[in-house]
Structures are given as C-alpha cells and as structure tokens.
Amino acid sequence: MIQKHIPLIEEAGEKGVQILCLQEIFDTPYFCPGQDARWYASAETIPGPTTERMAAYAKKYNMVIIVPIYEKEQAGVLYNTAAVIDADGTYLGKYRKNHIPHTSGFWEKFFFKPGNLGYPVFQTRYAKIGVYICYDRHFPDGARILGLNGAEIVYNPSATVAGLSQYLWKLEQPAHAAANGYFMGCINRVGEEKPWNIGKFYGSSYFVDPRGQIFASASEDKDELLIASFDLDMIDEVRNVWQFFRDRRPETYGKLTEL
C-alpha cells in the first residue's frame, strides 16, 4: 500500500504542504477485523525502512511527515505507532496509541500493546504537534494532556467504519479542539477492504480550528489530499477569551485516577 501513497506524498510536496499526516497503519490494510498472527511479520522497527523512506521525502520537500505504522520494538512487543519526521528528514520521535479497542471488527489487543510513551508534543520546523491515534479520540483526557503539553496542532490518523463512529467523527474532535484551544487534523481511510468486509471506511477527513469549527473537509469515498492553511495566531486569540487552562481544577479530579 505504500506505492498507493507515493503520488499523494509527492503531490503534497510539490504543492508546498508543510505538515503531512498519513492514515493509521498507512502501509497495510486495516487487518484488525481478524486475528491472524501472520500480520505480526508486517511490523518493523522505528526508525526503520519505512520511516527512512519517508524521511527522504520529508527532506526533499522540506515537509514534516507523520508516519503511522505497525511498530516492532522486539519479538512479541508490538505497537500501533506514529513516527514524526521533521522537515529536514530528522526523526523527532514517536507516539504509541494508548487506548486499544477489543471488540467485533476491531480486535486490536491481539496485535498491539497499549502505548507507554505518554502524550508527547514534537517541536517541528513549523508548529508544535501531537498525535492521537483513532480510538484515542473517544477519550478526552489525553487530548487535554496534549494541550497542556503545548500542542498547537493535534493529528488523529484513523481507520474507522460507518456506524455510531461516523456520527461521533465530527462531534468529538471539534469538541477536543475547542476545549483545548488547538487545531486538529482528522484523517480516515476510504473504501472497503477484503477479505474482512467489516463495512465502509467513510473517509471524511477534515481540519478543525480552536473554535471547534471545521474549515476544510474531504470526501467519503476518494483517495485524496486535503490541504488547508492554519493561522496559529488564532490559538492565542481563542485562549485569551476562553480561559479553560486557567480555570481548570485538577485538584478536584482525583477520582479520574482512582476508578
């Protein structure tokens, strides 16, 4: 599937895109509807062959690239991970998906350990960015920590199909953006994938601003590149009015870690 992405990566570079985020485990089908151990062999180290290949494109186009792949730390220790590569090709670090679902069509605990790196924010050439992968978006706690850690843009690469998720897709992430005063880029794959046929990946990728307003969106059914410009000054403008970080009361939230 990497070859399918190369024309879009090159298109992004040629159009001057500064930060590019690919979809969840972008280089394979979404194999989690089944429990086939053969997919373990598709995991690789980070840094590794795929991140090195993407680093070459990052350097060529002066473009930050977020690279979500299946990571192998060692035999039997596998993660759903996104590597972050700066615009000069430098590997900055990675985020490992913290919240791992395990339900019909999404047997992810069979394939992935929960993340153990917290909620890092990466200072890239163009912005401070964080990553929150797919199912993570249903949990506001990590989204808040990314804001407290200084994220200006949070990217959520996903692989999600129609159903309740499609309604929540444009509800939860605008809420995260508004509650934390940052931009979000929300990325989903499209189409159906055999042999699993769990339903249609409904695309609908979009960007949302710190006011919670969606300002650019893609189709439900086409492989495409969605490009938008961000005015990062809006973050200060919004936070100077909505003082959510000032007014939060962490000393009253102890129950969150007790239950």
Q: Which residues are catalytic?
A: 24, 97, 134
Tokens (6 digits) for 81: 């991970």
Which string of DSSP letters, residue by residue, matches 117-152?
A: S---EEE-SS-EEEE--GGGGG-HHHHHHHHHTT-S
State the burial class of residue 25 (Cβ atoms within 10 Å of its Cβ: 0-12, 13-18, 19+). Answer: buried
Q: How many CB atoms lie within 10 A of CB 160?
A: 23
Tokens (6 digits) for 10: 């090159």
Cβ atoms of 176 and 154 closer than 8 Å: yes
d(CA 65, CA 58): 6
Reference 147, options 68, 246, 81, 69; nearest CA is 246
What single DSSP character describes residue 216? E
Element (H, E) at 206: strand 206-208
